[in-house]
Homo-oligomer: A and B are copies of this chain.
Amino acid sequence: MKAKVIVRLKDGVLDPQGQTIQRSLNKMGHEVTELRQGKYFEIEFNGMKDESAVRQRVEEIAADVLCNPIIETFEIEDIS
């Protein structure tokens, strides 16, 4: 099974990289009012067939490894 996870900065946490991209887009004439950058992960588990077991495992991995809980949150987009 494959899980898709999005890790984004919490609201209120500064995103200088996103701001830089936004300013570039504005200079190019795109009227973007905010741009925030996050991370995306695709995680494959060959041995596991049970969706709820995979979800539990992915939550553990995301909370422990993929995401810094002080400044980031994660969301499991899809498991299939």
For chain A, give the interface size range.
20 to 34
Please encode chain A, from 12 to 45, with 1 for each CB lying within 8 Å of some chain B CB and 0 for all others. 0000001001001100101111111111111111
Interface of A is mostly: mixed
Q: Does A6 contact B (CB under 8 A)?
A: yes
CA distance A18 to B32 in the complex (A): 30
Are A40's CB and B38's CB within 8 A?
Answer: yes
Q: Does A71 contact B (CB under 8 A)?
A: no
Are A39's CB and B41's CB within 8 A?
Answer: no
Which residues in A have some Cβ–Cβ distance to B below 8 Å? 6-8, 18, 21, 24-25, 28, 30-48, 57, 60-61, 64-66, 77
